[in-house]
Structures are given as C-alpha cells and as structure tokens.
Amino acid sequence: MGENLTIWTYDWVPEGPRGFVRDLRLRWGAEEAGLSYDVDTVPFEDRPRSHLDRQPFGQVPFLTDGEITIFESGACLLHLARKSDILMPSNASGEAETLQWVVAALNSIEMVTVPWWFLRLSGDRENGLSGWLDSRLAHVEAILSEREWLVEDRFTAADLIMADVLRVPEIRARGDRPATEAYIQRLVARTAFKKAQADQLAHFAAADESRVRR
Ligand SMILES: N[C@@H](CCC(=O)N[C@@H](CS)C(=O)NCC(=O)O)C(=O)O
C-alpha cells in the first residue's frame, strides 16, 4: 500500500484500561481501510520530553505518517479517513456529515461520558453529571432508533468513534437503550474491531511478560 503509518501507544498499561486504550480507534480504522501500519510505544511510567513533543498532554495515541505527527484520536482517525472512502465518503456532503458526527461523538457524548465515569469511579455512583449523561444518551438512542449508521446508510469513521465512546461497560449498562445496544453490538462484531482489540490485548500481555523477565 506504500503507507508509512505508525500508531503510538504505551509500552504497558494496567489491566483496567486494556481493550479500551484509544490506540484501538486507530488500529480499528486502519484495519477497516486496509492500511498497513506499525505500532510503536512510549513509556507508561515516565512521560519523557520526546513523548510530550508529540502528544503535549503525555497521552496516547498519536500517529506518525512519514513526516507528519498528529495527536488526538479523533484527528488521527480523520487523518486516516482521508486516505480511504471506506472510512469517509469522498463526496462533500458525506465528508461533512462524517466530520460532524466524529466531533459530536467526542465533543457532545464523550465530553459527558468520561467525566461521569471518572466521578463514578471515585465512588460517586450517581453524581452531578448523571442527568446530563442520561439526556445525551436518550438523544443518541432516539437517533439510532431511526437509522442503522450515522452517515449515508453505511459504516464510516463516525460509527467507529461513536461506538467506541458508547461501548464503555458502565455506560452500556446504564438504562434500557435497545437501539444503542444493537448499534454497539453491530460495530464490535466487525472483523476489523475484533482484530484491533485482540492485537491491543496481545500487545499489553506481551508487555507483562517482558516486565516479569526483567
Ligand atoms: N482526547 C484524547 C484523550 C486521550 C486519552 O485519554 N488517552 C489515555 C489512554 S486511552 C491516556 O493517555 N491516559 C493517560 C493520561 O491521561 O495520562 C484523545 O482522544 O486522543
């Protein structure tokens, strides 16, 4: 394919986030699009200058594509999407809708789900964000009750990122939202998702083994 893509993730993470580390979004996108890529790592324990130079918050993922380095999983995914109409239609309205829904998944849904989840994790099961979360999830449910995909009646990067945001177990378990649940199940049943997730799990399992040998 002539690609020179590298997806960067941590060299190791604890059990909890495995299968959900956001490099999965990029692995999944590249797998869907048939783009070849390597995976490289930055240390989880220390966040050296060379990491902060490429991801200024010391997070993962970031992506290198030849001379280009790009961070934020949404931006990285859209960068991949511009390479393949499997991820984003090449017509103007399909592209605009894909951009719109990718940003909506991150800026209208994940911007509520993640803080809610953090508060819940810190012991505040029902917290000040619960009402806001429920309202956003109800709107998503209404949207997904009327359509199978977010854009043009077909899979796009918008579905990839929306499903990844919604598949967090605590969010999934909240309320009865059959259309959303069917949507998530449809997305995570895709071969590309399964490969991306299995590869991430294998990556961190291998890291466990090399930590034991050290
Ligand atoms: N908005 C960022 C969030 C990235 C993010 O939260 N990454 C997590 C792993 S999934 C991370 O690096 N956590 C460690 C930290 O925040 O220090 C994106 O979508 O790329």
**99-113 per-position pLDDT tens digit:** 999 999 999 999 999
Clarify whether residues 104 and 25 are in a common domain. Answer: no
**80-138 per-position pLDDT tens digit:** 999 999 999 999 999 999 999 999 999 999 999 999 999 999 998 899 999 999 999 99
Clarify whether residues 74 and 97 are in a common domain. Answer: no
Clarify whether residues 57 and 96 are in a common domain. Answer: no
For residue 30, the domain's CATH number is: 3.40.30.10
Nearest ligand 1 atom to the CA of 106 is: 19
Average pLDDT of each block of 10 consecutive residues along the chain (214 residues)?
Answer: 87 97 98 98 94 97 98 98 97 98 98 97 91 98 98 98 98 96 98 98 94 76
Domain count, the chain: 2
Q: Cβ distance 207 to 21 under 8 Å?
A: no
Clarify whether residues 62 and 78 are in a common domain. Answer: yes
| Domain assignment of residue 213, yes or no | no
Q: Is the CB of 41 within 6 Å of ligand 1? A: no
For 36, the domain range is 5-85+192-208
Q: Is the CB of 22 within 6 Å of ligand 1? A: yes
Q: Percentage helix, strand, coil, to 5, in the chain?
A: 55, 10, 35
Clarify whether residues 69 and 122 are in a common domain. Answer: no
